[in-house]
Chains A and B, each alone.
Chain A
Amino acid sequence: MTQVKRLSLDVLKPHQPNALQFALAVASLGADYRVSLQVLEVDERTETTLVTNTGQALDYPAIEARIADLGGSVHSIDEVEVHGGEDDPG
């Protein structure tokens, strides 16, 4: 089965929750999720961040929904690592 192992997302987020709380909330989606968040730019009300998620099988819709729930917005998928499985027809 094809599994997403790594996702780097360009995310625009408000100042609150802060970077730590934001990363914790995303990481709580999976027991093996590892989240790295880098703040690239800061303006009066928002922060541009690079959120990198790694895990055995990342659930992108769930990650995107959690980011939206936290007030963030995924602007682009900048990097992705996907592993094909034995049953994968491709």
Chain B
Amino acid sequence: MPYLRRLLFLLRISDSAQIARRYFVTNGFDGALAMLGLVTGFRLSGNLDLETALWACIGTAVALATSGVSSAYVSESAEREKALQELERAMAGESLSDSAHARAARLASFVVALVNGGAPLLLASFITLPIWLGARGTNLGLPALDIATAVAFVEIGLLGAFLGKISNRHWFLMAVRTSLIAAATAAIIYMLGS
């Protein structure tokens, strides 16, 4: 598969994997925590119609995704262009516009933007799923908002475990750390609501 090999080569020379991983965690965390805040607010408000909660969650997820994609693409493109110009100066003024570096820069901006927007959308979707099922009349056994809250905590814990794995720290302690951040967020909202 020469095309795939070429793609991986471009991603390697642009160091995209490391940057995309960082954005996945950062924006994934943003998305999951924002949704946790939203769901916690719904629980505090009392007997909220699940259909209303569902569309508020969908709207938030879409806004997070759009924001993530657009902001990352604009900023990453600008940074890559700057880096390319600096490299051209270091290469004694040789134009790199037709080189693998220019192609890698364009690809990296696209990939990073996709990850930056896709991460919160994906995590928000899983949190929204029980609310969607509840709004459609599916018997979940537990209140939909409770399940959504649990999903949010699991996602945030898993993000912490992932961070622990890639940084060679104890994954369980990192998962506990991020879960405590989620718990503190929910606690602050409850305190404000009481």
Footprint of B on A, CB under 8 Å?
A: 12, 14, 16-17, 21, 43-46, 68-71, 73
Contacts and interface: CB of A to CB of B under 8 A. Distances in A.
Interface in B13-28: 13-15
A70 B94 contact: no
A87 to B, nearest CB: 36
A82 to B, nearest CB: 27
Contact of B100 (A43, A46, A70, A73): A70
A70 B6 CA distance: 12
Contacts of B92: 12, 73
B86 A68 contact: no
B9 A71 contact: no
B181 interface: no
Interface string B143-154: 000000000000
Interface of B: 9, 12-15, 86-87, 90-92, 94, 96, 98-101
Given A16-B13, A21-B9, A69 B91 contact: no
B99 A70 contact: yes
A77 B13 CA distance: 26
Given A70-B99, A70-B100, A71-B101, A46 B90 contact: yes
Contacts of B100: 17, 69-71
A50 B182 CA distance: 55
Nearest to A73: B94
A71 B98 CA distance: 9
